[in-house]
Amino acid sequence: MATNKRIITVDLLRHGEPEGGDILRGRINPKLTPIGWRQMSTSTGLSLDPEAAYAIDREFTVDVSPSPLTPSWNKVISSPLERCQHFGAHAAVSQGIDADIQDRWQEIDYGDWDGMPIEEWRKLAAPQFAEFRRDLSKLAPPNGEDYLSFRDRILSAWHDLATEPDGSHVLVVTHGGVLRVVLPTVLGMPLNRSFPLHIPFASFSRVRLEVEGEGGDARISASLLFHNAAEYPSN
């Protein structure tokens, strides 16, 4: 009997180290550091020199060379924020396609907290996070995006990946907060108890989606094939 099961592979890449030091980054928009470029290049197996990459902005031609270990993506999705989008665009070029820039994959809007030194933010936000561990609705950055709206935005984008054709291999270049929604969802972890899950800069994970049926009746199962598989030097 014929089956309409589809298999979709999704690679999830967090951006590498951005400029600005140890600050909270939501919608603020720093570039990657050279270290950040190397981290993402190593994680994906994509050979891309950081100085050459930024030369594209000066209208030079740059050779983006995938290594034999680079996955063959047929779609590259990226957050619009610079620390994701620039590398995502080059990853797409390596496959001869254009990056699909989607606002839904950007980081939570931290509002008044955005750009704060991490130590200051931890003290200021500690009461909200204490409540968040009991109730997801309690995390609501002042003048920012409440957590439940953020969660729903990310899960909507995530579920849409299940509509890709059979055999698709998709790269999503995104943020740590986003991955703290997606990966715990795949693993069946409570979203407010994901803190033991280590998601460093340039964390690279792979999920296999098995989809049976179409539309609202589709049955979707997700398996984490690996998480943070690449090793790279810290400096």
DSSP 145-209: --HHHHHHHHHHHHHHGGGSPTT-EEEEEE-HHHHHHHHHHHHT--GGG-TTS---TT-EEEEEE
Set out the domains of the chain in order of their start, with CATH numbers.
Answer: 6-226 (3.40.50.1240)
Q: What is the pLDDT of residue 51?
A: 59
pLDDT at 45: 87
CA dist list (Å): 145 to 103, 165, 233? 14, 32, 34
pLDDT at residue number 40: 94
Residue type, 208: R
The backbone torsions φ and ψ at residue 229, rounded to the nearest 5 degrees and listed phi first, read -75, -25
If you write DSSP's letter for every residue of 110-138 in order, what string do you get?
-GGGTT-BHHHHHHHHHHHHHHHTT-GGG
Region for residue 75 given its phi and psi (left: phi exceeds 0; alpha: psi -120 to 50; beta: otherwise): beta
User: What one-character-per-residue DSSP string does 217-230 give?
Assistant: G-EEEEEEEESS--
**CA-to-CA distance for 27 and 4, rounded, in angstroms?**
40
Q: pLDDT tens string for the chain (235 positions)?
A: 446 899 999 999 999 999 999 999 999 999 999 999 999 999 998 876 655 555 544 343 445 666 666 789 999 999 999 999 999 999 999 899 999 999 999 999 999 999 999 999 999 999 999 999 999 999 999 999 999 999 999 999 999 999 999 999 999 999 999 999 999 999 999 999 998 999 999 999 999 999 998 777 789 999 999 999 776 554 4
User: Whole-model pTM?
Assistant: 0.90
pLDDT at 128: 96
pLDDT at residue 155 in the model? 98
Whether 106 and 14 have beta carbons less than 8 Å apart is answered as: no
